[in-house]
Amino acid sequence: MLSEDFKGNRNAGTSIYFLLQQGQFSALHKIASDEIWHFYYGDPLIVFEITTTGELIEHELGANFEAGERFQCVVKAGSWFGAMPAKESSYSLVGCTVAPGFDFADFELARKESLLLQYPHLSNVIRMLCR
């Protein structure tokens, strides 16, 4: 049974994959579930996570373990997060898995002005990842 944080029925899990090219980004947003990010192919990608306490975590996805890259990371439910290819990257093919399954009822797109007031110490990341 789902907690009261979820509205309506849900799939047990959902997954997507997508390509981000240099200059593109996944805008800051949050959802009601943990989200697992997977690296599939290409160049490194940075997943920026702003925790509920205002801590910034930069997850670097990629295939070079010696450089600190990982094939996957978990973004905690309720954290703001977005992603973009690392500075030297051309493109990144990545995916996301969510359980219970993703539903737009659980999705909130960040509002730049609101986040800047809440987390002024993270203004560079917020301005970079908000539309």
Q: For residue 128, what pLDDT is reported? A: 97
Q: Which residues make beta-bridge pairs with 19?
A: 93
The model's pLDDT over 37-48, given as tens digits with 9 standing for 90+, comes to 999 999 999 999
Letter string b/e over residues 64-78, b meaning 16 or more CB atoms within 10 A of that residue's CB? eeeeebeeebebeee
- CA 102, CA 67: separation in Å to the nearest integer? 32
Q: Indicate the domain borders of the chain.
A: 14-128
For residue 115, give the 3-state DSSP assignment. helix
Question: What percentage of the chain carries pLDDT values higher than 70?
Answer: 94
Quote the tokens at residue 7: 């509205």
Q: Whole-number mean pLDDT of the chain?
A: 94
Topology (CATH) of 14-128: Jelly Rolls (2.60.120)
CA 107 and chain centroid, separation: 12
Q: For residue 5, what pLDDT is reported? A: 67
The model's pLDDT over 75-99, given as tens digits with 9 standing for 90+, comes to 999 999 999 999 999 999 999 999 9
Q: For residue 7, what pLDDT is reported? A: 66
The model's pLDDT over 38-74, given as tens digits with 9 standing for 90+, comes to 999 999 999 999 999 999 999 999 999 999 999 999 9
Per-residue pLDDT at 10 exceeds 70? yes
